[in-house]
Amino acid sequence: MGPFKHRTSSRHTFAALAGTLALVFAAGASAKKGDIHLDKLKLPDGFKIEVYAKNIPNARHMVRGDKGTLFVGSMGEGKVYAVLDSDGDQKADEVKVIAEGLTRPTGVAFRDGDLYVSAVTSILRFDDIESSLDNPPAPVTITSQFPDKHHGWKYIAFGPDGWLYVPIGAPCNICDEEDYANIQRLKIEGDKVVATETWAEGVRNTVGFTWHPVTKELWFTDNGRDMLGDDIPPCELNTAPVAGKHFGYPYCHGGDILDPEFGGGKQCSTYVPPAQKLGPHVAPLGVKFYTGSQFPEAYKNQIFIAEHGSWNRSKKIGYRVTQVSLDKNGRATGYKPFIEGWLQDEDVWGRPVDVLVMPDGALLVSDDYAGAIYRVSYEG
């Protein structure tokens, strides 16, 4: 990967505003931080939601280790947590801090016994971490090649190909800068990155991606630009089955909305449209296919998305977990709420960030505002 170069001028007034972490953490939230109100949550008939773990300040993305440890990143807290359910009762017994003082370590990935953590400019690795939770090793720095700009925090995950996928978000609300707004993949051997490739371009800010359990195709959420009004553009769910596709940003949004600043001379038909348009400004983050067997068969290989919620819309939207349905050919056919209630009128007490399917088929949901992780199960 080469140096990050400025390509065209743009208006960065909004970028300076949106770049403040205070907006990212607190936008839209109005209830007392840490309060949990499960009685306000609505789920489909037969489903139940419980607190799996609490007192995890700013809980962001999740990954499960080979020995069952749940690892959780954070944003402003600068910490990485290990959540343990030692007695197998589907509730956490202990939360350990295995790293602190990091820069927005939101993303966590796991491979061959080692935990990988994204820390804006760097990818860190904690070797054989589940054998040393009480005395974690110093992290190995795999790379420090990434820029430290707005949308610099990263979701990371290993793909079926064994490469580590890493997004590079746009350094602004809307601008056109070379080497940003894409998804990269890194080939890691030992302690080094031996190859870097760009998988997808025109991706403003993806904070969650996953692979179809059958086709192994990459699916990812993308947060739409701001300052075009309450109702446009939609946020997006996209699929990138092969490398080299361009998904529109900053020229076209939602598959059919030319940008008023950067869309001149462009055609939306040039770019890949969303697989599913999502709500405007819902801030879709974590996304997973449901691969368990606990939920009814209709949910098998369907998509769950954690919507963090809007921050500058006149009427709040998001703050929920949604479901995208796919047909037998893998095409999106519908989009609807699965869990609602973190938003009560204009009052917010929780903000979903990530979803994770557990071995028993339950679905975990992280909440960075309440500092909690919920467990969703099906009782029938």
26-44 burial string, b = 16+ CB within 10 Å, else e?
A: bbbbebeeeebeeeebebe
- Residue 26 reports pLDDT greater than 90: no
The whole-number pLDDT of residue 30 equals: 58
pLDDT digits 0-9 by tens, 47-90: 999 999 999 999 999 999 999 999 999 999 999 999 999 999 99
Which residue shows structure tokens 């939601």? Answer: 49
Return the minimum-mean-pLDDT range out of 22-36, 208-222, 320-334. Answer: 22-36
Query: Do residues 177 and 170 touch, judged by C-beta distance below 8 A?
Result: yes
Which residue shows structure tokens 């095409």? Answer: 331
Query: Do residues 58 and 368 touch, judged by C-beta distance below 8 A?
Result: yes
The whole-number pLDDT of residue 14 equals: 39
Structural class in CATH, domain 38-378: mainly beta
Q: What are the residue boundaries of the structural domains of the chain, listed by start?
A: 38-378
Q: Which helix (H) or strand (E) holds 26?
A: helix 21-26
